[in-house]
Structure 1
């Protein structure tokens, strides 16, 4: 092949390569498959969530009023107990002896009183006849009064001994569940100080939570008093499920805590199935104001970047368009959008991470049912 032919072949190759390159450049970018949803607009009750801890409404430490060794345990840790049910028994031998001793003292004092009263009766008869001096009668009457006082004192001592004996049987003051850390048989109990066990009420229970100062002011500004928002509280358990029974606000602290600046509150929930146990954590959900015509999008459609929030919407030519948005409160798995979107917008829910502004989109529309959210009204 001569030199001239080689030049022509090389030129032809360059022309063909340039044409292919232009064809590739002119080919449209590949569409990105995404899922999108029409923006939802409806009147929406705004809910507020607070982290809470389940506590017993009443929690009573059981203490004995007498000292001694535990001779019997009549319940096991974790048992459900009722008011008046025996829980422990303290060795009663010492207290039986005290009762017997007090009974003997009362009997002796009563016998002495009877003798003195008979003397008083005789002295009164003799004094009426002038057989004895009036002073002797007065002395006898005084001795009778002293003997009566002695009887009263011994009877009081007997009553105390009988009460101490009765108190060796320790009963539950309330209905509830007894803790598992109770004392064992043989343990020594100091009157008024040793905690034998703790009994906690189980139905109803309370949920303790706190509200920040700003949250409190927000409720106050919309005129939503605790009597309003605190009447139908919801409880979300740690596994995400909703407790089936509503709760009611019962207690509000007198002021904000100095260290945290929060207002402590307690709400009561019926617990007939004993599902709620003290120490569990849950979220209190309270309904605040209702926003008319609120714009809602799925929370997972929101993108955070450098402290700002964006969403990707489907443009008029099915291209990706990034819009900055101002967000309001969260409603379940939805997000209120206060600025940046209209009801005509179609928001990309899945696949936006693969797009760039202007990227052509292959859109699959989904509805509220696909996201397990309520349909627009």
Structure 2
């Protein structure tokens, strides 16, 4: 038992000695000074900045219709090919009309028979009226004949309606374009049997002018209405499009309509802006960035969103201070525009802000600074630039 206790004491002493050795080594490294943290930094930007808000949008046609037949039957003639442009009233298809021609002839025959019966009844009514005047027939006989005439007149009117219906069915065997526009390519082939009001023969739409549709959150909508009021109304707000290849659409649009309520599932409001599309560059289904251009803030101080950190409800950035020391600065933020925040308070144009390497950075730490530009970092006033061109930005002077 004594030998076991002696061995345990030796082990504890050895561990204590090792801990002291490691502690001494660590103290020697600290005495040599901490290594500077490598960061990327850039000058705070100061420039006139439009209040531009960017949203993901989709191009939709102003009129989109599915063309269906009012009558059923086999397509016996096709006057178009999918994808072509057509004019309003241009014939597109013809359905087999033989049964509708027969139905029209039958309806006309029934009408002629009822008209003949009515004429005979009217002639008899005329004779009864003369006989009644000479007291040769009773009033009851005259009234009965008048009732028959009225019934035959109603039958003629009903048969006339059947003739009109049969004629409309026959006319509807030819399907016409309801408007001018471009047909889709998924048109049905000749010989296809189509059911009235069910089978879509082809769809079509107009692409000039055309809509860019996007969504606003509740807060964005309220802010937008407030800013629009300052600019003279919603119709005065300028809308720009950036296409998926980064090119700017050359024609300015304007907001023309919005949904009547927020979508229950997403809590967003659907808005449409109208753009002229004379060359047909914009096609329904395209995706584009919709930019709402508001008032311009003169000499705005801008800081990259990436540089801003949040702590306990406060916003702050790390600056490159004297002797390349990290300096924390609390800031008051304004609108977010693209990759930047507008800074209302806390920065001036001479500040240099850290934009990369913030993870382990502490205030007062030494910095190994690499200066970068907005282009180097892909920052833009137009938002995510991974698929879009950047706007040129110049550092504050």
TM-score range, shorter chain: 0.7 to 0.9
Q: Does residue 209 of the first structure (1) align with residue 214 of the second (2)?
A: yes
In 2: Cα distance, 1:267 partner to 1:55 partner: 10
User: How big is each residue's C-alpha offset from its partner over 1:163-203, in whole Å with a ceiling of 9 and x where there is no partner?
Assistant: 11111111222222221222221222211222222222211
- Partner of 2:296: helix, strand, or coil? strand
In 1: Cα distance, 2:142 partner to 2:225 partner: 82
Quote the offset at 1:329 in angstroms: 5.2
CA contact (8 A) 2:350 2:396 kept: no
User: How big is each residue's C-alpha offset from its partner over 1:37-93, in whole Å with a ceiling of 9 and x where there is no partner?
Assistant: 7x5533322210010111112211212221111122222111222222222211111
CA contact (8 A) 2:57 2:287 kept: yes
In 2: Cα distance, 1:239 partner to 1:360 partner: 34
Pick aligned residue for 1:264 from 270, 282, 286: 270
| Cross-structure match for 1:195 | 200
Q: Does residue 279 of the first structure (1) align with residue 285 of the second (2)?
A: yes
Quote the offset at 1:204 in angstroms: 1.5
Quote the offset at 1:97 in angstroms: 0.6
- List aligned pairs for 1:132-147, cutoff 5 A: 132-147=137-152
| Cross-structure match for 1:353 | none
CA contact (8 A) 1:58 1:201 kept: yes
- Partner of 1:215: helix, strand, or coil? helix
| Cross-structure match for 1:161 | 166
| Cross-structure match for 2:52 | 47
Q: Normalized against structure 2, the TM-score is what? A: 0.69
In 1: Cα distance, 2:213 partner to 2:276 partner: 14
Distance 1:304 1:336, change over 3 A: closer
Distance 1:219 1:321, change over 3 A: farther
CA contact (8 A) 1:229 1:288 kept: no
CA contact (8 A) 1:224 1:289 kept: no
- List aligned pairs for 1:203-242, cutoff 5 A: 203-219=208-224, 224=229, 227-228=233-234, 231-242=237-248
Equivalenced residues, count: 330
Distance 1:219 1:272, change over 3 A: same
Distance 1:320 1:88, change over 3 A: farther
- Partner of 1:56: helix, strand, or coil? strand
- Partner of 1:218: helix, strand, or coil? helix
- Structure 1 alignment gaps of length 5 or more: 1-33, 350-355
In 2: Cα distance, 1:363 partner to 1:166 partner: 73
In 2: Cα distance, 1:376 partner to 1:84 partner: 61
- Partner of 1:256: helix, strand, or coil? coil
- Structure 2 alignment gaps of length 5 or more: 1-39, 356-364, 376-390
CA contact (8 A) 1:323 1:340 kept: no
Distance 1:246 1:222, change over 3 A: closer
| Cross-structure match for 1:98 | 103
- Partner of 2:123: helix, strand, or coil? helix
Q: Does residue 113 of the first structure (1) align with residue 104 of the second (2)?
A: no
- Partner of 1:57: helix, strand, or coil? strand
| Cross-structure match for 1:343 | 349
CA contact (8 A) 1:320 1:361 kept: no
In 2: Cα distance, 1:228 partner to 1:127 partner: 78
Distance 1:332 1:240, change over 3 A: farther
Q: Normalized against structure 1, the TM-score is what? A: 0.73
CA contact (8 A) 2:53 2:338 kept: no
- Partner of 2:50: helix, strand, or coil? strand
